[in-house]
Amino acid sequence: MADTLLRIENIKKFFHVKRGFPVAKTMTVRAVDGVSFEVKRGRSFGLVGESGCGKSTLGRALLRLVEPDSGSVTFDGQDVLSTNASDMRALRQRMQIIFQDPYSSLNPRKRIGAALVEPLLVHGLADKRQAHERVLKLLDEVGLPPDAANRFPHEFSGGQRQRIGIARALTVGPELIVADEPVSALDVSIQAQILLLLRELQESHNLSFVFISHDLGVVRFFCQDMAVMYLGRIVETGPIPRIFEEPLHPYTHILRDASPVPDPRQSRKFLHIEGEVPSAVNPPSGCHFHPRCPYAADICKKVSPDWHQVDAERGVACHLFDTGNTGPDYPKR
């Protein structure tokens, strides 16, 4: 078993927002509400969920791009949240992020070469001449021509920009990359190019990924483990493909079956799904998923389910699973 590179324990991040008119009331958005998981070295951990489930906030919180309210993040044995500013800078060389839309994270008036050289200089990893050579090598690694260094962000297509985003993350030689929906904005043929590139780089650089996505197909392809989030909480974790073959949480089951697959023989049946994702401002009592759950019992409305570690690899937060009272209809393949 590979060793643990990143351990997240009971991370919480609440936002306070003012809503309402004419008298605004302060409300609390429980974006991430007590989340724990582990990422093994050299592996990819998928974070899956629908919009507003808190997966992006979690990705930023573990890098301290937003400061978590409580909990702990341990990276290679080091406590990330109590690290001071100068040590944090050193740590950031080892933990990087790729965004969904690399265009908005690039300075439109800066040539790609200059943008990629900057982190090397900031972190004191190279002098100017070395930095330039490193950048050319990086561009080649991500499949861009050397003359890309002299061009501006607007001159590139979406797929090429994501290659630039990947090159930027790689400049400082990270061990962990948080990839936040890195292929969601791309056409499928380009998406495949980027996924293959990431996989190749993962091997050559021994990278670990926290891979945030709403696309189960992409996660199944790229990751070895995953967690499903719903309204700020993890409802299920497990290895791939076991979690797809036998989902334990009703939400995982529904998410899997709602994901369209390119096969008309399988896709014709639409499952009946109740309701919409409720607001994280005022989440339902008990198990957050109970209003949409076809198996919800009384206890689900009142009590938030405890985490149930099924075996060394799998866990689920569901009362029905706890009590074994899953009935004949309970999701099984």
Partner 1 sequence: MHTMPNSIQSSESNPDIILDVRKLRTSFRIAGEWHAAVRDISFTLRRNETLALVGESGCGKSVTALSVLDLVPSQNGRIEAEQIQFNGRNLLGLSEDEMREIRGNRISMIFQEPMTALNPVLSVGHQVAEALLYHRDMNKEEANRAALELLDQVKIPSASSRFKEYPHQFSGGMRQRVMIAMALACRPDIILADEPTTALDVTIQSQILALLGELKRDTGMSLIFITHNLGVVASIADRVAVMYAGNIVEIADVDSLFAHPTHPYTEALMRSIPRSDRDTETLHSIPGQVPPISRMPDGCRFAARCDLARPICRKLDPALQQINAGSTHEVACWVRGDHDLTAIEDRANG
Say whether residue 187 binds partner 1 (CB under 8 A): yes
Give the contact letters, 237-276, x = binds to partner 1 (CB under 8 A), - = no: ----x--x---------xxx-xxxxxxxxxxx-xxxx--x
**Residue 215 C-beta: closest distance to partner 1, Å:** 8
Say whether residue 184 binds partner 1 (CB under 8 A): no
**Residue 307 C-beta: closest distance to partner 1, Å:** 23
Count of residues that interact with partner 1, criterion CB under 8 A = 43
CA dist 202 and 85 (Å) reads 28
Say whether residue 29 binds partner 1 (CB under 8 A): no
**Residue 10 C-beta: closest distance to partner 1, Å:** 27
Query: What backbone torsions phi and psi does residue 2 show, to the nearest 5 degrees?
Result: -65, 155
Say whether residue 27 binds partner 1 (CB under 8 A): no
User: 134: how many CB neighbours lie within 10 A of its CB?
Assistant: 18
| Closest alpha carbon to 222 in 206, 234, 235, 209 | 209
Q: How far is CA 277 from the centre of its chain?
A: 19
Which stretches of 142-282 are DSSP H helices? 158-170, 188-205, 216-222, 242-245, 250-258, 264-267
Say whether residue 22 binds partner 1 (CB under 8 A): no
For partner 1, the binding residues in 118-137 under the rule CB under 8 A are: none
**Residue 277 C-beta: closest distance to partner 1, Å:** 7
**Residue 130 C-beta: closest distance to partner 1, Å:** 32
Query: What backbone torsions phi and psi does residue 316 show, to the nearest 5 degrees?
Result: -150, 150
Residues 6+ apart with CB under 8 A from 43: 2, 208, 209, 223, 224, 225
**Residue 74 C-beta: closest distance to partner 1, Å:** 31
User: 266: how many CB neighbours lie within 10 A of its CB?
Assistant: 10
Say whether residue 24 binds partner 1 (CB under 8 A): no
Say whether residue 59 binds partner 1 (CB under 8 A): no
Among 97, 115, 207, 216, binds partner 1 (CB under 8 A): 216
Q: How far is CA 102 from the centre of its chain?
A: 16
Q: What are the angstrom distances between the C-alpha of 156 and each of 108, 143, 149, 166, 243?
A: 11, 13, 11, 14, 38
Q: Which is nearer to partner 1, 48 or 177 (CB)?
A: 48
Footprint of partner 1 on this chain (CB under 8 A)?
50-51, 157, 159, 187-193, 195-196, 214-218, 220-222, 241, 244, 254-256, 258-268, 270-273, 276-277
